[in-house]
């Protein structure tokens, strides 16, 4: 069996590539500032209901929304995978503390009542370039938290894409 090819690239990794490909590269500090400025503009574009076309025919990025539809199994319990529902671990741990017999048997799920039952996420619609299927976009937790805060504050004023473009 072969090892997993998972690899996370960071700013320092991109800087090494940049240094090899440019005749007169800037220092790491300047490079990091440019990357941070790009990321800030990237977020502004996405948070304001825009589709960001990625150069080099790499596809599109946008914020999408999806309604949470709870699906129940034969026993009447929520099927979390089919529902694509997230567990509310804060409330679940409180429930388990109050009723230890329910530990790992009963979970409490987020219903997102503040957004009328919608979940929001960063979506990357990739084009069919050979080898691109191996590339995955995993936004940082801080980006996810900013997106959550932004959607809570602006829900109803900005309508995001509910289907893939």
Using one digit for the tens of pLDDT, what is the confidence trace for 2-32? Answer: 445 566 778 888 899 999 999 999 999 999 9
Q: The whole model's pTM is what?
A: 0.67
pLDDT tens digits, 67-100 = 888 888 888 888 877 877 888 999 999 999 999 9
- What is the percent of the chain with per-residue pLDDT over 90, rounded to a whole number? 19
* Bridge partner residues of 5 (DSSP): none
Going from N- to C-terminal start, the domains of the chain cover 9-47, 53-68+111-165, 76-110
Is the pLDDT at 163 greater than 60? The verdict is: no
């Amino acid at each position: 069996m072969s090892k997993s090819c998972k690899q996370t690239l960071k700013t320092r990794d991109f800087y090494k590539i940049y240094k090899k490909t440019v005749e007169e590269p800037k220092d790491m500090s300047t490079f990091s500032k440019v990357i941070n400025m790009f990321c800030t503009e990237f977020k502004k574009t996405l948070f304001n209901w825009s589709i960001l076309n990625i150069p080099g025919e790499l596809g599109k990025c946008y914020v999408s929304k999806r309604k949470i539809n709870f699906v129940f199994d034969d026993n009447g319990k929520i099927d979390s995978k089919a529902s694509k529902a997230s567990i509310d671990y804060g409330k679940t741990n409180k429930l388990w503390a109050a009723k230890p017999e329910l530990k790992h048997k009963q979970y409490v799920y987020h219903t997102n009542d503040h957004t009328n039952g919608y979940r929001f996420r960063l979506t990357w619609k990739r084009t069919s370039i050979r080898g691109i299927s191996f590339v995955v976009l995993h936004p940082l937790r801080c980006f996810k938290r900013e997106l959550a805060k932004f959607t809570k504050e602006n829900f109803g004023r900005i309508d995001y894409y509910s289907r893939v473009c």
